[in-house]
Amino acid sequence: MSKLKKIIKNWRVILLVVFLLFAIISIKPMPWNSGVMIQTIEKNSSAALAGIENPKPGIAPLSKEKIISMNNRLISSQQDYYDFANTLKSGVYVTIETNKEVYKIKTKPLLEITELNETEWTTITETIQVNETINGEIKLVNKTINKTIQIPKTITKILGTQDIGIKISDVPTNNLRKGLDLQGGTRVLLQPEEEISAEMFASLIDNLKERLNVYGLSDIIVTEVRDKPKILGEGNKFILVEIAGATEEEVKDLLSKQGKFESKIGNTTVFRGGQDVTYVCRTAECSGINPNQGCGKLSDGGWGCGFMFSISLSPEAAQRQADATKELAVISKDQGKYLSEQLVLYLDNQEVDRLNIAADLKGRATTEIAISGSGTGQTNQEAINNALKDMKRLQTILITGSLPVKLNIVKTDNISPVLGTQFINNALLVGLLAILSVAVIVFIRYRKLIVALPIIATSISEVILLLGFAALVGWNLDLAAIAGIIIAVGTGVDHLIIIADETIKKELSYGGWKEKFKRAFFIIIAAYFTTLVAMTPLLFAGAGLLKGFALITIAGLSFGVFVARPAYAAVIQILLE
Name the residue among 484, 446, 440, 436 with its Cα closest to residue 462: 484
Those residues whose C-beta lies under 8 Å from the C-beta of residue 63, and which sit 6 or more positions away, are: none
pLDDT tens digits, one per residue of 309-323? 888 888 888 888 888
Buried b / exposed e along 21-53 (16+ C-beta atoms within 10 A): eebbebbbeeeeeebbbbbbbbbbbbbbbbebe
CA separation for the pair 510, 90 (Å, rounded): 83
Q: What is the pLDDT of residue 418?
A: 63
In the predicted structure, residue 417 carries a pLDDT above the cut 90: no
The strand pair at 268-272 and 277-280 is best described as unpaired
Query: Model confidence at 509, in pLDDT bands (50, 70, 90)?
Result: very low
Residue 90 half-sphere exposure, CB side, CA atoms within 13 Å?
Answer: 12
Q: Which amino acid is at 343?
A: L
Q: What is the pLDDT of residue 533?
A: 86
Report whether 236 contacts 191 (CB < 8 A). yes
Q: Which amino acid is at 367?
A: T
**How far from chain centre, in Å, is Cα 53?**
14
Instruction: Map out the domains of the chain with their CATH numbers.
Output: 2-29+417-576 (1.20.1640.10), 36-108 (2.30.42.10), 109-161+259-402 (no CATH), 185-257+411-415 (3.30.70.3400)
CA separation for the pair 536, 229 (Å, rounded): 9
Mean pLDDT computed over 481-505: 81
In the predicted structure, residue 373 carries a pLDDT above the cut 50: yes
Q: What is the pLDDT of residue 401?
A: 63
Name the residue among 102, 31, 107 with its Cα closest to residue 67: 102
Query: Model confidence at 365, in pLDDT bands (50, 70, 90)?
Result: confident
Q: What is the pLDDT of residue 95?
A: 92
CA separation for the pair 93, 70 (Å, rounded): 10
In the predicted structure, residue 165 carries a pLDDT above the cut 50: yes
Report whether 373 contacts 352 (CB < 8 A). yes
Query: Model confidence at 23, in pLDDT bands (50, 70, 90)?
Result: very high
Q: Which amino acid is at 412?
A: T
Backbone angles phi, psi at 68, to 5 degrees: -100, -50
More reliable by pLDDT, 22 or 292: 22
Average pLDDT score over the chain: 78
Q: For the residues of 518-552, what is the DSSP string, one character each?
A: HHHHHHHHHHHHHHHHHHGGGGTGGGGTTHHHHHH
Q: What is the pLDDT of residue 20?
A: 93
pLDDT tens digits, one per residue of 244-285? 655 556 566 566 555 667 788 888 888 876 668 888 887 777
Kindly report which listed range (14-23, 147-156, 393-402, 486-495) carries the lowest average pLDDT score. 393-402
Mean pLDDT computed over 420-431: 71
In the predicted structure, residue 386 carries a pLDDT above the cut 70: yes
**How far from chain centre, in Å, is Cα 270?**
34
DSSP annotation of 171: P
DSSP-H helix ranges across 304-416: 315-325, 380-400
More reliable by pLDDT, 8 or 25: 25
In the predicted structure, residue 512 carries a pLDDT above the cut 90: no
